[in-house]
Amino acid sequence: MFKRVLVPAMAVAAMLAVMFVVLPAGAVGNDRAIRSRQSHDRYAFGHDTIISSAVAGSVQAYGGSIDVRDVIDGDLLVFGGNVTFSGRGRVNGNVVYAGGRIVNGEGRIGGQAYPLASIGGAAASMTKTAVVLSLLFVWLVAAVVVTLASGREVRFSSIEIRASALHCFVLGLVALTSFVLTAIMFSYLVPYLIGIPLLAALAVFAILTKIYGMVAVFHAVGTLIAGARTHEQLASRKWLRGDVAMVVVGVLLLGAIRFIPVIGAIAWSAASVFGIGVALATKFGRREPWFLVWRPAEA
Amino acid sequence: MNRESCQRYLEDPEANASHLAECAECRALAESLELKVEDRRPRLSAELPLAPWEGAGHRSWSLVIAGAVVVALIAAFFFMATGSSPLRVLANLPSADVLISTLRHIGSAAQNAPASWQVIVGVLFVVVNAIFVALLRRAPRGIDV
């Protein structure tokens, strides 16, 4: 049944997906309106751009800054560069930017300016501390819930981090890169109906992987710092014992480290990489293989 | 009274402890002597290293509540100091419409990117995912818990 139906169906689906990517002219449906609107769009890849005449559509820049000297009727997206307004420069839509800043943008943006950073990064410095602390509270609650729901799995993943840290880190880095590249590949399908659900599914999977992995990292850190080493030590403790306690200690420790400038961001990012790596290395603590080896049945 | 079974009990009280249930004399004798049997089982658990699962099921609710309250109070203090609120911060986040619009823009940009960029992304996609699959095939090393 599997070989007869599922494999050919998947092959056909894969070929169709590749055709959609390779032949974007095949897009139909509501996308006509988008395409006609986007025909005035301008794109810049890997270099700085000056908008010296009015643009009827949107402008996007990847890996370069934008100098807006005239009106952009649509949105402005800038990744890896600054947005500078001068002269008649104005954006009637939204400005979405990452890895840069907006210069002289007061009163020149018709919509809103969205920095595509973390929630904490979007806030001002004093508020940022409060936001980071609020997120830490959310992490604490999530970590306790996940540990209560699947303590054995979290414990196993925590042991795996300590048993093969390098493998978890490398797997985490590769997985992150794979998520980004897969998202780019899926973004080719955005003009079609399937694109956004695929991207949403990828985002949900990545977020769940990060949440579970971070809980495992919290457990590992808590156990390394505050875990009991002997039976006597364990018997003498009232609070500092058990999976939940180790996770809470880990959250509080990593949360405190996060407030150290530069080092905190690096430590939290490294924890995320470790977390994603260990979540995937242990299949969310279930210790099942991701791929089964197919062997023909013997008579 | 069965002399033979009583004799066996007196020779090895621990092995023939069930005899006390059937012989009143021996039971009275044992009670009068207040025999205490020493536990001579080897205490292996104390000598072995602490296993990860030992004590893992314990739930320190006091620690959880204390930690959560401290973090929440400090966050509330900072929000009060800045005159802001979590809701105001959430209101500044992009809406679903903006996110979908941004995704559509990025999708169109991917198709309008220079050919060299698209080739590089395609090659990287294949290479990185091949490494990803190879790494996922490795069995976990952690011991059983």
What is the DSSP code (8-state) at residue A122? G
Mutate to test the interface with B, among A156, A198, A207 (most CBs of B within 10 A): A156
Instruction: Verify whether the Cβ–Cβ distance B50 to A43 is below 8 Å.
Output: no
- Kind of pairing, strands A95-98 and A76-79? parallel
- Residue A225 contacts B where some CB pair is shorter than 8 Å: no
Pick A241's closest partner by Cβ from B46, B55, B128.
Answer: B55
Q: Does A118 touch chain B (CB under 8 A)?
A: no
pLDDT tens-place string over residues A95-109:
888 888 888 888 899
Say which amino acid occupies B116. S
Strand pairing of A59-62 and A42-45? parallel
Cβ-Cβ contacts under 8 Å, B128 against chain A: 174, 177-178, 181
Measured between beta carbons, the chain B residues lying within 8 angstroms of A185 are: 121, 125
User: Cα–Cα distances in Å, from B3 out to B33, B47, B116?
Assistant: 20, 44, 102
| Whether residue A26 has pLDDT greater than 70 | no
Interval A221-262: pLDDT, tens: 999 999 888 888 888 888 889 999 999 999 999 999 999 988
Orientation angle between helical segments A165-187 and A195-226, nearest 10 degrees = 160
Q: What is the ipTM of this complex?
A: 0.72
Q: Counting beta carbons within 10 angstroms of the beta carbon of residue A106, is it exposed (0 to 12), middle (13 to 18) or buried (19 or more)?
A: exposed
Rounded mean pLDDT, A114-141 = 77
The residue in chain B having the minimum alpha-carbon distance to the alpha carbon of residue A126 is B82
| Minimal-distance CA residue of chain B relative to A247 | B64
Nearest CB partner across the interface for B50, out of A163, A230, A280: A230
CB < 8 Å to B87, chain A: none
What's the gap in Å between the CA of A187 and the closest CA on chain B?
4
Helix, strand, or coil (residue A250):
helix
Question: Strand, coil or helix: what is A32?
Answer: helix
Closest CB to A178 among B79, B121, B129: B129
Mutate to test the interface with B, among A145, A187, A229, A284 (most CBs of B within 10 A): A187
The pLDDT mean for chain A works out to 84
pLDDT at A115 over 60: yes
pTM tops 0.80: no
Mark yes or no for CB contact A191/B103 under 8 Å. Answer: no
Pick the residue with more confidence: B100 or A77? A77
Contact between chains at A189 and B107 (C-beta distance less than 8 A): yes
In chain B, which residues have pLDDT < 70? 1-2, 34-46, 142-145
Q: Which of B63, B128, B143 sits opposite A248 (nearest CB)?
A: B63
Q: What integer pLDDT is reported at residue A28 of this predicted model? A: 42
Nearest-Cα residue of chain A relative to residue B117: A45
Residue B56 Cα, gap to closest chain A Cα (Å): 4
What's the pLDDT tens digit per position in A145-202?
999 999 999 999 999 999 999 999 999 999 999 999 999 999 888 878 788 899 999 9
A125 in Cβ contact with A107 (< 8 Å): no
CA atoms of A139 and A120, how far apart (whole Å): 14
Residue with tokens 């609710």: B61
- Report how far residue A190's alpha carbon sits from residue A29's, in angstroms, rounded to the nearest whole number: 12
Tokens of A74: 């649509």
Say if CB A58 and CB A76 are below 8 A apart: yes
Q: Does B68 touch chain A (CB under 8 A)?
A: yes
A274-293 mean pLDDT = 90
Give the count of beta carbons closer than 10 Å to the beta carbon of residue A285.
26
What is the predicted pLDDT for the residue at B35?
61
Q: What's the half-sphere exposure (Cβ side, CA atoms, 13 Å) at A58?
A: 24
Take residue A253 and report the two structure tokens written for it.
Answer: 């420790």
Q: Of residues A276 and A189, which shows the higher confidence score?
A: A276
Contact A163 B101 (CB under 8 A): no
pLDDT greater at residue A26 or residue A52: A52
Answer whether residue A121 shows pLDDT above 80: no
CB contact, 8 Å: B95 with chain A? Answer: no
Q: Using CB atoms, which residue from B64, B128, B142 is nearest to A159?
A: B142
pLDDT at A292 over 50: yes
The Cα A285–Cα A280 span in angstroms is: 9
Nearest CA in chain A to B123: A181
Burial class (CB in 10 A: 0-12, 13-18, 19+), B9: buried
Interface contact A281-B140, CB threshold 8 A: yes
